[in-house]
C-alpha cells in the first residue's frame, strides 16, 4: 500500500522534498501563498523558491491545511523553525493519532530552546516524531544531483517504512535512531556555516575554512553530546556531512549571510535582501543560552553571536578566535 504524504511548507526545501515523495507516494503540499499553489498545480513549478526546476507532475498543492493532512499517512513539516509550532497547532485537529510527523527544519525554537521533534511531541504526544536531515542543499537536489540523507526516529520499523517514501533515484536515505543528535547536527552547523562564510567573504583562505569546520565540529559535538546526542552521530551525515556541505557551499543561505558580513554588509541589510530563511541567525541566540546551561565552551559560535547581536566586526571575531588559548586538540577550545 502506498502511504499518502501531506507536506506543510512551500519553500525551497519543502517543495523539493514534496517533489521527491510524489515520485513514490501520492503527495499534497500546503503553502499559504495561493499564487504558489496555483503555479504548482498548473505549471509544476515554484519559480520563487526553485527557479528553473520542473516538479513531479503528480504533486498536488493546496492552500488548505485540512485537505493536506486529513488523509495523510505521513505528515512532513517543511516550514522554518520559528513557524513550526503555529502551523502544527493549526493542523493538529485534522491529524490522525498514529500518523508519523517528520521535521525538515534545522533550527531551535527561541524562548523554549526546544528541538522541533520536542515541539511535535508536545503538541501531538501520540504521534511518532522524526527528522529528515543531512547534507541536502535544495538547489542541487531538485536538479537530480546525488545526495544522502538520514531519517532519524526512535522506532526503527517506522523509519525503515518511511525510508522508501523519501528515497528516490540518487537521493539515498539512511536510518538512524539518534533523533537528538541528528536534529542538533542540522541546527548547530548553520552557525559554523555563517563563520566559514564570514572567513570566505573576508578572503581568509582555505586553511582557515578547514580549521573552522574541524573545530566547529568539535564544539557542536560537545554541546550535542551534553544534550543527549550520540558522539558517533556527529561524525555522520547529519553532523560532519551537513557541516561540510553547508560550510563550503555558496548555495547555502547561512554561508551567504556570513559571506556578506565578511564583505562588510550589515546583518539587517543582508536579511532584508533575502527571500529565504537562514536559520543560523536565530539559532545562534538559543545556542549561547544552551552553552551556558550545559557549561560547554563554544568559542566559534560565541564570536558569531557577538558579530550578529553585539556589534562586533568580522575582524573582532577573527582576533577573538586567534587570542583563544590553544590547548590539546582533544580538549575544548
Ligand atoms: N533549502 C535547503 O537547502 C534546506 C533547508 N532545510 C531547512 O528546511 C526549513 C525550511 O527551509 P526552506 O524551505 O529552505 O525555506 P524557504 O525560506 O525557502 O521557505 C520558507 C517557507 O516557509 C513558509 N513560511 C514561513 N513562515 C511561515 C508561517 N509563519 N506560516 C506558514 N508558512 C510559513 C514560507 O511561505 P511564504 O512563501 O508564504 O513566505 C515558505 O513557503 C528550514 O529550517 C531550513 O533550515 C533543510 C535542508 C535543506
Ligand atoms: O541545511 C542545508 C543543507 O543541508 C541548507 O543550508 P542553508 O539553509 O544554509 O541553505
109-137 pLDDT, tens digit each: 999 999 999 999 999 999 999 999 999 99
Ligand 1 atom nearest 48 alpha carbon: 37
Give the three-state DSSP class for 88.
Answer: helix
Please name the residue whose Cα sits nearest to atom 15 of ligand 1: 11
pLDDT of residue 305: 98
pLDDT of residue 332: 62
pLDDT of residue 81: 98
Ligand 1 atom nearest 10 alpha carbon: 41
Please name the residue whose Cα sits nearest to atom 33 of ligand 1: 79
Per-residue pLDDT for 333 more than 60? Answer: no
Q: Confirm or deny that 252 is annotated as ligand binding.
A: yes
Each residue of 277-332: pLDDT tens digit?
Answer: 999 999 999 999 999 999 999 999 999 999 999 999 999 999 989 888 787 777 66
Give 49 Cα–ligand 1 centroid separation in angstroms.
Answer: 9
pLDDT of residue 104: 98
Q: Are strands 60-62 and 74-77 parallel, antiparallel or unpaired?
A: unpaired
Neighbours of 23 (CB within 10 A): 15
Give 207 Cα–ligand 2 centroid separation in angstroms.
Answer: 22
Q: What ipTM, to 2 d.p.?
A: 0.99
Each residue of 124-182: pLDDT tens digit?
Answer: 999 999 999 999 999 999 889 999 999 999 999 999 999 999 999 899 999 999 999 99
Per-residue pLDDT for 264 more than 90? Answer: yes
Please name the residue whose Cα sits nearest to atom 6 of ligand 2: 252
- CB-ligand 1 contact for 33 (6 Å cutoff): yes
Contacts of 230 (CB under 8 A, 6+ apart): 178, 181
Per-residue pLDDT for 108 more than 70? Answer: yes
Q: Quick one: average pLDDT of 251-280?
A: 97
Q: Quick one: average pLDDT of 18-25?
A: 97
Per-residue pLDDT for 98 more than 90? Answer: yes
Ligand 2 atom nearest 133 alpha carbon: 4
Ligand 2 atom nearest 252 alpha carbon: 10
Each residue of 195-236: pLDDT tens digit?
Answer: 999 999 999 999 999 999 999 999 999 999 999 999 999 999
CA distance 76 to 61: 14
Residue of 8, 9, 34, 84 with the most ligand 1 atoms within 8 Å of its CB, for mutation: 9
319 annotated active-site: no
Which domains does the chain carry? 5-177 (3.40.50.720), 191-323 (1.10.1040.10)
- Between CA 252 and CA 256, with CA 254 as vertex, the angle to 5 degrees is 70
pLDDT of residue 322: 85
Considering only CA atoms, which of 103, 133, 132 is closest in space to residue 118? Answer: 103
Please name the residue whose Cα sits nearest to atom 28 of ligand 1: 83
Q: Where are the beta strands (DSSP E) in 123-249?
A: 129-133, 147-153, 171-176
| Catalytic, out of 139, 189, 230, 282 | 189
Give 84 Cα–ligand 1 centroid separation in angstroms.
Answer: 10
Q: Confirm or deny that 32 is annotated as ligand binding.
A: yes
Q: Confirm or deny that 239 is annotated as ligand binding.
A: no
Q: Quick one: average pLDDT of 243-272?
A: 98
Amino acid at each position: 500500500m502506498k502511504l499518502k504524504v501531506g507536506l506543510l511548507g512551500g519553500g525551497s526545501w519543502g517543495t523539493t522534498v514534496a517533489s521527491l515523495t510524489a515520485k513514490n507516494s501520492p503527495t499534497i503540499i500546503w503553502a499559504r501563498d495561493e499564487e504558489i499553489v496555483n503555479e504548482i498545480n498548473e505549471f509544476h513549478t515554484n519559480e520563487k523558491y526553485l527557479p528553473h526546476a520542473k516538479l513531479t507532475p503528480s504533486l498536488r498543492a493546496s492552500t488548505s491545511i485540512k485537505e493536506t493532512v486529513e488523509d495523510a499517512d505521513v505528515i512532513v513539516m517543511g516550514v522554518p523553525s520559528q513557524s513550526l509550532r503555529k502551523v502544527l497547532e493549526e493542523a493538529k485537529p485534522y491529524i490522525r493519532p498514529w500518523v508519523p510527523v517528520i521535521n525538515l527544519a534545522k533550527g531551535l525554537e527561541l524562548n523554549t530552546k526546544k528541538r522541533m521533534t520536542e515541539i511535535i511531541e508536545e503538541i501531538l504526544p501520540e504521534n511518532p516524531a522524526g527528522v529528515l536531515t543531512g547534507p541536502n542543499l535544495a538547489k542541487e537536489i531538485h536538479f537530480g544531483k546525488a545526495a544522502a540523507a538520514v531519517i532519524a526516529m526512535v522506532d526503527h520499523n517506522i523509519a525503515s517504512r518511511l525510508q522508501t517514501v523519501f528515497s528516490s533515484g540518487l537521493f539515498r536515505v539512511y536510518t538512524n535512531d539518534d533523533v537528538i543528535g541528528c536534529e542538533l547536527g542540522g541546527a548547530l552547523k548553520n552557525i559554523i556555516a555563517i563563520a566559514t562564510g564570514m572567513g570566505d567573504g573576508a578572503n581568509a583562505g582555505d586553511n582557515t575554512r578547514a580549521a573552522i569546520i574541524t573545530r566547529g565540529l568539535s564544539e557542536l559535538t560537545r554541546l550535542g553530546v551534553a544534550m543527549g546526542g550520540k558522539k558517533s552521530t556527529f561524525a555522520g551525515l547529519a553532523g560532519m556531512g551537513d557541516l561540510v556541505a553547508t560550510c563550503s557551499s555558496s548555495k547555502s543561505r547561512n554561508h551567504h549571510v556570513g559571506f556578506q558580513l565578511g564583505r562588510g554588509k550589515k546583518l539587517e541589510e543582508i536579511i532584508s535582501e533575502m527571500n529565504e530563511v537562514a536559520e543560523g541567525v536565530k539559532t545562534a541566540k538559543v545556542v549561547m543560552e544552551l552553552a551556558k546551561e550545559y557549561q560547554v565552551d563554544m568559542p566559534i559560535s560565541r564570536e558569531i553571536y557577538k558579530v550578529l547581536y553585539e556589534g562586533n566586526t568580522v575582524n573582532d571575531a577573527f582576533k577573538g578566535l586567534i587570542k583563544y588559548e590553544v590547548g590539546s586538540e582533544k580538549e575544548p577550545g
